[in-house]
Amino acid sequence: MERFKRMAPPSLKGESQPLLAESWMKEIEKIFRAIRCSEENKVSLATYILQERADVWWASLLRTRFEDGAIEVAWDEFVRLFRAKFVPEHIQDKMEQKFLTLTQGSMTVLEYKARFAELFKYAPHIVADERRKAKKFVMGLKPSLRSRLVAFDHCTLDEALSMACR
């Protein structure tokens, strides 16, 4: 908790501003990476800084769906519930569409990987397993890279990324 607080995480009041909610989520995840936060601590740390409408939403959800906190909430589930509440469906659909049409274009491989990871959060159902995720990544690479990599059966995104960076 102390390491988290030292990073000065932004609070979220739950205003009706989806871009603000997304920005908050990105900043929180950035802090989690910086402090190497364990999966089991993410929900309690993120919800600790919710305020006003957002805090009321979470308290209500804990009472009604998670038996006053007796049931553990996984980070992925929290993110899904958070987006359902604070990021309208049409914006989620737009981000999913961006994921579907994402290509490397003028980005470096690492920039493409970062954008891929960012947009993937809106479409995990589309690439349900690691192999499909790797295939989607490879198919979005520049043609010269894609033709080199498509012959290999990449089991993971990390394998595909490693090959693309060579």
Residue pLDDT, tens place only, 103-134: 999 999 999 999 999 899 888 888 888 999 99
DSSP letter assigned to residue 156: S
Q: 155 or 74: which carries more pLDDT confidence?
A: 74
- Report field, pTM of the whole predicted structure over 0.75: no
Residue 66: what pLDDT? 83
In angstroms, the CA 21 to CA 8 distance is 17
- Determine the average pLDDT of the residues in 59-85: 87
How many H helices and E strands in the chain? 10, 0
- Determine the average pLDDT of the residues in 66-72: 75
Q: Tokens representing 33?
A: 């990476």
Residue 70: what pLDDT? 62
Q: pLDDT-derived band of residue 27, with 50, 70 and 90 as boundaries?
A: very high
> Do 126 and 100 form a contact (C-beta atoms < 8 A)?
yes
In angstroms, the CA 95 to CA 115 distance is 11
Q: What is the DSSP string of 45-57?
A: HHHHTB-HHHHHH
Q: SS3 of 149, please?
A: helix
Beta bridge partners of 84: none
